[in-house]
Amino acid sequence: AFWCLMMSVTPTRGCLLDLPWEDILVPHILCHLPLQQLLSLQRVSKSFQSLIQLYLANMRCFDSSQIGPAIPRAAFVNLLKDNEVLQQLALQNCSDWLTDQELLPVIGQNHHLHRIQLKGCAQLSRHALVAISLSCPSLRQLSLAHCEWVDSLSLRSLADHCKALEAVDLTACRQLKDEAICYLVQKCSRLKSLSLAVNANVGDVAVEETAKCCPELEHLDLTGCLRVKNDSIRVLAEYCPKLRSLKVKHCHNVAESSLSILRSRGVELDVEPPLQRALVLLQDVVGFAPFINLQI
């Protein structure tokens, strides 16, 4: 529809660019177009280039997936060089090109960021997390999944400066141990969602401290945390009445004796009850589900 509107205007009826840029075009028209189309629109004329640059400088949300993982490093720097009002920044899986050199200037000039997604950005360093903690005091959601450069010192900086955090994804941040997680949850007691998945260093100490410090917790992912045992799951059930989902797949030391407490409360679990698992296994073996009177 936008392209039809642009092509239909004539000199006698006026030009689309005659509409107020900051009051009409930027907030009510350009915001509905994919970023890839906006970048193409820059090539129409110098006036459109200026318009798109104005839009980019006032953009509240940047998501690299709208352009694709192959976005050139220089293009990313140019896109956000004038923006100081970003609220959401999503750069997941940009490991081929994103380093501290590109990210730190963007973080440093955007103090209103409340949501940052850095999943799989493997070439960053602990300095990126320190910069986030110092520049983004209002941060509420942060994904650092598969960022193995995250260490205890940088996580401490985050905990000290971003106490409004509500969701943190630390999946496969394998440098982190119980002590670092405990410090985070002690400082960030508003957490509602936390992922500690795929970390063999995380055990009962971290889970119990999370339960005791974060009464608002709704979602916890412990997938593959081999050191987590039944005792911490019972503490979780006692201290987190708002818990809605718990992932404990591949936690071999967590048994139904502790999970049943949460299951009875309607908490969504990613493992089936023992009888249900047995029936599924039997069905896979014999090819059909046998009839069993569960009332016996």
Answer yes or no: do 83 and 47 share one domain: no
Answer yes or no: do 76 and 35 share one domain: no
Q: What is the pLDDT of residues 91-103, one digit of tens each?
A: 987 888 899 999 9
Answer yes or no: do 109 and 52 share one domain: no
The mean pLDDT value for 8-35 works out to 62
Tell me what percent of the residues of the chain surpass a pLDDT of 90: 65
Provide the domain limits for residue 115.
Answer: 59-281
The torsion region of residue 172 among left (phi > 0), alpha (psi -120 to 50) and beta comes to: left
The mean pLDDT value for 266-292 works out to 67
- Enumerate residues 6+ apart whose C-beta is below 8 A from 112: 85, 86, 87, 138
Confirm whether 211 is domain-assigned: yes
CB 132 within 8 A of CB 142: yes
Answer yes or no: do 159 and 51 share one domain: no
What pLDDT is attached to residue 35? 76
- Rounded Cα distance between 65 and 53, Å, is 20
Q: Assign 33 a pLDDT band (cuts: 50, 70, 90).
A: confident
Answer yes or no: do 247 and 189 share one domain: yes
- pLDDT above 60 for 69: no
C-alpha atoms less than 13 angstroms from C-alpha of 112 in its C-beta half-sphere: 9
What CATH code is carried by the domain that includes residue 158? 3.80.10.10
Q: Assign 296 a pLDDT band (cuts: 50, 70, 90).
A: very low
The mean pLDDT value for 262-287 works out to 74
The mean pLDDT value for 272-288 works out to 60
Confirm whether 12 is domain-assigned: no
| Statement: the pTM of the whole predicted model exceeds 0.95 | no
- pLDDT above 80 for 32: no
Answer yes or no: do 50 and 69 share one domain: no
Structural domains of the chain, count: 2
Q: What is the pLDDT of residues 139-176, one digit of tens each?
A: 999 999 999 999 999 999 999 999 999 999 999 999 99
Confirm whether 120 is domain-assigned: yes
CB 177 within 8 A of CB 148: no
| Residue 233, token pair as written in the block | 């799951």
Confirm whether 287 is domain-assigned: no
Pick the more confident residue, 193 or 291.
193
Pick the more confident residue, 19 or 267.
267
Q: Which of 76-80, 138-142, 173-177, 274-278 has the lowest mean pLDDT?
A: 274-278
- Rounded Cα distance between 149 and 154, Å, is 9
Q: Which of 42-46, 136-140, 233-237, 264-268 has the lowest mean pLDDT?
A: 42-46
H/E stretch holding 236: helix 230-239
Q: What is the pLDDT of residues 191-213, one digit of tens each?
A: 999 999 999 999 999 999 999 99
- Enumerate residues 6+ apart whose C-beta is below 8 A from 42: 48, 49, 52, 53
**Mean pLDDT across the chain:** 86
- Enumerate residues 6+ apart whose C-beta is below 8 A from 296: none
Answer yes or no: do 134 and 204 share one domain: yes
Answer yes or no: do 180 and 162 share one domain: yes
User: Residue 258, class by beta-carbon neighbours within 10 Å (0-12 exposed, 13-18 middle, 19+ buried)?
Assistant: buried
Answer yes or no: do 32 and 167 share one domain: no
- pLDDT above 70 for 21: no
